[in-house]
Amino acid sequence: MIEKQMQVIDPMVIRRDFPILSQKVNNRPLVYFDNAATTQKPQVVIDAIADYYSGYNSNVHRGVHALSMKATLGFEGARETIRRFINARYTHEVIYTRGTTESINLVASSWGRKNIRKGDEVLITELEHHSNIVPWQLLCEEKEAKLRVVPILEDGSLDMDAFRRLLTDRTKLFCVTHVSNSLGTITPLKELVSLAHQNNTLVLVDGAQAMSHIRIDVQDLDCDFYAFSAHKVYGPMGIGGLYGKEAILDAMPPYQGGGEMIKTVTYDKTEYNELPFKFEAGTPNAGGAIAFGAALDYISGIGISAIAAYESELCAYATKRLMEKSSIRIIGNSPGKTSVVSFLIDRIHPYDAGTILDQLGIAVRTGNHCTQPLMDRYGIHGTIRASMAFYNTKDEIDALIAGINKVEELFL
């Protein structure tokens, strides 16, 4: 990934690019701390969507007229932008999907059904989102394979000794999040991939929470699959992608049948298209893809290193302020985590706290964050999650603390 030199983030300048942040909620200035669920969109992304639908809305790859050719150039140009952002070797290793969930299901349905056999094992971790659990449960049930789970330590980091023990000659695939959406834990991905490959185990990475926070280099990581979503990285919903190594994708059967993924069709036989089109059946979300490219260009223009440094500062400040209160219990304190702080307030249900905070204009997420087994591991039903982005400020963190004080006044 090519980015500008390190610069200092000025959130007040950044916020001008995000029109939604200037509004009031319940007559209070909006404090948006739900970025792990979805990030807000800069004006350049909104403009990219509007420009596509108002100026050159057309299907891609299928027309010789001007609008179709312009849409195709934008669509494929965005694919190249994604390739650069994650440093894939080839553009055709980037498959457009609806997002991380569909990307994982694509691998489970295509690679998994072809390669997983009775008695094989698929390995996941206790950190995983439901989207990186349920597809593998379905596959293992169908194939009479075994789903194994790597436990975590109390601070939310992976138990590496347990990982080594669970990695056996039966382990065909290891599926792991790059960054936990609930705890902010950054997994030691390069080491995990290396150990898995020494065992002839392929690795799929859920990168949904990583792309907006840390630099991604799939060649350096050497992972076999990397799944991601645009809306987690300041792009639109309903679009995302799957990176896969060329040789592995080539050997996989199509995920869905229809237009675009074919070369020739007769009633007797269909010849499938080349990569990446073999996995992109039907009319694509061209406008979403083009806007995704605009989002990544925007992030690259600021610099992911600068973003990571500023968000780390925010996370440290939020953690410090929360730990000043004896009534707060933070769930997950792994070293070097991203800007996610999950916490509980003594004797107050997260939903009640979240409702009051919303009345104060503060948006946080409450519940199990689609990681119910992880919550079970801590013996809790859910948390209050404040997830921060590079447009958030320390003043907003202070507003959160003041909001928590108000919650305690009302309930305790």
pLDDT at 109 over 50: yes
Residues 285 and 387 in one domain: no
Longest dimension (CA), the chain: 73
Of 281, 300, 319, the residue that ends a domain is 300
Residue 181 lies in a domain: yes
Residues 101 and 147 in one domain: yes
Residue 103 lies in a domain: yes
Q: What is the CATH number of the domain that holds 341?
A: 3.90.1150.10
Average pLDDT of the chain is 96
Summarize pLDDT for 274-291 with one digit per residue, the tens. 999 999 999 999 999 999
Is 315 marked active-site? no
Residue 203 lies in a domain: yes
- What is the C-alpha to C-alpha distance for residues 85 and 257, in angstroms, rounded to an integer? 29
Give the residue-averaged pLDDT of 310-317: 97
- What is the C-alpha to C-alpha distance for residues 298 and 73, in angstroms, rounded to an integer? 19
Summarize pLDDT for 238-261 with one digit per residue, the tens. 999 999 999 999 999 999 988 888
Give the residue-averaged pLDDT of 38-60: 97
Of 271, 300, 329, the residue that ends a domain is 300
Give the residue-averaged pLDDT of 54-76: 94
- What is the C-alpha to C-alpha distance for residues 143 and 38, in angstroms, rounded to an integer? 34
The b/e string for 177-196 (b: 16+ C-beta within 10 A; e otherwise) is: bbbbbbbbbbbebeebbebb
Give the residue-averaged pLDDT of 215-241: 98
Residues 319 and 221 in one domain: no
In sequence order, which residues have a C-beta less than 8 Å from that of residue 388 and are 6 or more positions away?
Answer: 33, 35, 311, 314, 315, 318, 339, 340, 341, 397
pLDDT at 382 over 60: yes
Give the residue-averaged pLDDT of 163-171: 98
Residues 105 and 214 in one domain: yes
Residue 116 lies in a domain: yes
pLDDT at 2 over 50: no
Q: What percent of the chain has pLDDT over 70?
A: 99
Q: What are phi and psi of 7, to 5 degrees?
A: -135, 165
State residue 217's pLDDT score.
98
State residue 3's pLDDT score.
47
State residue 259's pLDDT score.
84
Residue 93 lies in a domain: yes
Residues 112 and 84 in one domain: yes
State residue 203's pLDDT score.
98
Residue 309 lies in a domain: yes
State residue 88's pLDDT score.
98
Residue 6 lies in a domain: no
Residues 19 and 30 in one domain: yes
Of 300, 318, 351, the residue that ends a domain is 300
Q: What is the CATH number of the domain that holds 207?
A: 3.40.640.10
Count: domains in the chain: 2
Are 262 and 270 in contact by the 8 Å Cβ rule? The answer is: yes
pLDDT at 1 over 50: no
Residues 159 and 291 in one domain: yes
State residue 156's pLDDT score.
97
List, as one string, the DSSP characters of 232-272.
GGTS-TT-EEEEE-HHHHHHSPPSS-SSSSEEEE-SS-EEE
Split at pLDDT 50, 70, 90, the class of 317 is: very high
Q: Closest by alpha carbon to 360, among 412, 404, 299? A: 404
Residues 81 and 95 in one domain: yes
pLDDT at 378 over 50: yes
State residue 261's pLDDT score.
85
Residues 224 and 334 in one domain: no
Residues 311 and 290 in one domain: no
State residue 63's pLDDT score.
78
pLDDT at 410 over 90: yes
Residue of 140, 223, 315, 370 marked active site: 370
Q: Which two tokens stand for residue 196?
A: 């898995």
Give the residue-averaged pLDDT of 66-70: 95
End-to-end CA distance of the chain: 50
Residue 360 lies in a domain: yes
- The side-by-side arrangement of strands in the sheet containing 94-97 is 94-97, 240-244, 225-229, 202-206, 171-177, 121-125, 146-150
Give the residue-averaged pLDDT of 214-232: 98
Q: C-alpha dihedral over 293, 244, 219, 296, to 10 degrees? A: 10
pLDDT at 106 over 70: yes
In sequence order, which residues have a C-beta less than 8 Å from that of residue 198 and are 6 or more positions away?
Answer: none
Q: What is the domain range of residue 254?
A: 46-300
Are 227 and 208 in contact by the 8 Å Cβ rule? The answer is: yes
Q: Residue 9 CB: number of other CB atoms within 10 A? A: 19
Q: Which two tokens stand for residue 153?
A: 């330590």
Give the residue-averaged pLDDT of 339-361: 97
State residue 286's pLDDT score.
97
- DSSP β-bridge partners for residue 186: 179
Residues 250 and 384 in one domain: no
Give the residue-averaged pLDDT of 163-191: 98
> Where is average pLDDT lowest: 65-74, 268-277, 305-314, 374-383?
268-277
Cis check for the bond before 276: say yes or no (omega within 30 of 0): yes
Residues 280 and 339 in one domain: no
Q: What are phi and psi of 25, to 5 degrees?
A: -120, 125
Split at pLDDT 50, 70, 90, the class of 408 is: very high
> Where is average pLDDT lowest: 1-15, 113-127, 200-214?
1-15
Summarize pLDDT for 184-198 with one digit per residue, the tens. 999 999 999 999 999
pLDDT at 272 over 70: yes
CA 395, 348, 352, 407 torsion: positive or negative? negative
